[in-house]
Amino acid sequence: MRIILSGGGTGGHIYPAITIARVLEKKLLEAKEPVEILFVGTKVGLEADIVPKEGYELQTIDVQGFKRQLSVKNVQTVFKIFGSLWQSIKIIRNFKPDIVIGTGGYVCGPVLLAASLLKKPTLVQEQNVIAGITNKTLARFVDCVAVGYEEAKPYFSPFTKVVISGNPIRPDVLTAQREQAIVDLGLDINKKTLLVSGGSRGARSINLAMVAVHQAFQDHKDIQILHITGQSEYNSIVGKLHEKGIYPEKSGNLKIVPYLYNMPQALACADLAVFRAGAIGLAELTVRAVPSVLIPYPYAAENHQEHNARVLAEHGAARVIRDSDLTGEKLVTVIRALFDDPEKLAAMATASKKLGHPLAADCIADAAIALTGNRE
């Protein structure tokens, strides 16, 4: 079977595609069917670095997203879209895929549209509760849409085949063991762990609010904090703590790092998390049954992070604080209230686990294979 996957721009689109690719390879090889996989992305997105390192071939097209305001660049974008559509047609004709799968990002648009025009089976994955413009458009052409949330289904036409799959997560998120992770990260197994992350680049509003949290919980005998600031924020936040006489490196319960390469281990340690509300981050929290305090990124397209967060809150798995309402004092109050109420925290963990989709990638892979059933 020959498969094209397209997704790019951010890790949130690329890593799910890689996870789906791995599962497809496993399933097809177990069925003794050879498989060949090609990724299609851009030269400027993270896929240009990540995909080759993961051992997959990457071919690129020249495309860019629309600006959200009137701009001369949008006119240029229109011309690039037509050019990228032709580039995609050439790639598909040469590779002759049995199916084309998209996991998000503007690069998916011309690739999936070209595949549809060439009558190739197509599947697109929508990660968020609110579907993006690209996927809403593609849904009119593709054979199947796999959604990360049941709440996303009404945003698509009743004539569109929709599979409620959940969002794919890396296998090591599920397999990481708490005891070993505690040792590897230098934490205390007898303390509850608060995991704080604003994403790979960090989140300034969360980091600034965390100064008060560190101040409130320094030297706490039962609670430890693992705070991932992001590379650009680390020195500033540590400096602000030093100004207040707080020295994490000398503390017995505060660990602040600019970046953490082994996030699955951090998730395995977490008893409570403070996160943004990106779809993949939430998928990882729920499969690990981690209750959370979510501060949605306020400038996400269609405000999709707040909609994602509200789903978890409505099911009792999270508390939500809007970025505009976030203060250090408020964050301290919410965190303290949750840690002071073990029954509430346990109920949130149970609710979180119910929302998890550990077999999301398998579901998407099965749907993709089913679409190829009539291939020659």
Please name the helix (run of DSSP H) or strand (run of DSSP E) that holds residue 15, with its range, or none.
helix 11-30
- Sign of the C-alpha dihedral computed for residues 6, 7, 9 and 11 taken in this order: negative
Q: What is the pLDDT of residues 347-360, one digit of tens each?
A: 999 999 999 999 99
Q: Which positions ≥6 away from 342 have C-beta within 8 Å? A: none
Same domain, yes or no: 158 and 206:
no
Mean pLDDT of all residues belonging to the chain: 92
**Given this model, what pLDDT does residue 72 score?**
42
In this predicted structure, the answer to whether residue 68 has a pLDDT above a threshold of 70 is no
Q: Is the pLDDT of residue 226 over 70?
A: yes
Q: Where are the alpha helices (DSSP H) in 106-190?
A: 108-117, 133-138, 171-175, 178-184
Phi, psi of 295 (to 5 degrees): -120, 90
Helix (H) or strand (E) segment spanning residue 45 = none
Query: Given a cut of 60, is residue 79 above it in pLDDT?
Result: no
Q: Is 344 in the same domain as 363? A: no
Number of domains in the chain: 2
Closest CA to 290 of 356, 222, 244: 356
Whether residue 332 has pLDDT greater than 70: yes
Shared-domain flag, residues 185 and 282: yes
> Do residue 212 and residue 193 come from a single domain?
yes
The per-residue pLDDT for 58 is 97
Whether 206 maps to a domain, the answer reads yes
Which CATH number characterizes residue 21's domain?
A: 3.40.50.2000
375 pLDDT more than 80: no
CA dist., res. 103 & res. 109, Å (int): 10
Residue 327, classed as helix, strand or coil, is coil
Instruction: Please indicate, yes or no, whether residues 180 and 136 belong to a single structural domain of this protein.
Output: no
323, 308, 302: which is closest to 355 by C-alpha?
A: 308
Assess whether 285 and 338 both reside in one domain: yes
Tell me the pLDDT tens digit for each residue of 172-199. Answer: 999 999 999 999 999 999 999 999 999 7
**Rounded to an integer, what distance in angstroms lies between the CA atom of residue 230 and that of residue 197?**
8
State mean pLDDT over 47-69: 83
**Same domain membership, residue 180 and residue 151:** no
SS3 281: helix
With CA atoms as reference, report the closest residue to 213 among 227, 202, 203. Answer: 227
In a domain, 376, yes or no: no
Q: What does R_g of the chain's alpha carbons equal in angstroms?
A: 22
Write out the two tokens for 42: 């851009």
Q: Is the full-model pTM beyond 0.85?
A: yes
Specify if 323 maps to a domain: yes
Q: Which residue stretches of 31-149 are H helix?
A: 47-53, 72-95, 108-117, 133-138
Q: Which pair of structure tokens corresponds to residue 312?
A: 């978890």
* pLDDT in the model for residue 65: 56
Mean pLDDT computed over 134-139: 86
Q: Residue 364 sits in which domain range?
A: 2-168+359-371
To the nearest whole percent, how much of the chain has pLDDT over 90? 80
The dihedrals phi and psi of 191, each to the nearest 5 degrees, come to -115, 150
Mean local confidence (pLDDT), 86-109 = 95
pLDDT score for 202: 66
Per-residue pLDDT, 256 = 96
Residue with tokens 């980091």: 207
Do 338 and 363 lie in a common domain? no
d(CA 16, CA 2): 18
| 18 and 127 housed in the same domain | yes
Mark whether 325 and 340 lie in a shared domain: yes
Do 350 and 207 sit in the same domain of this protein? yes
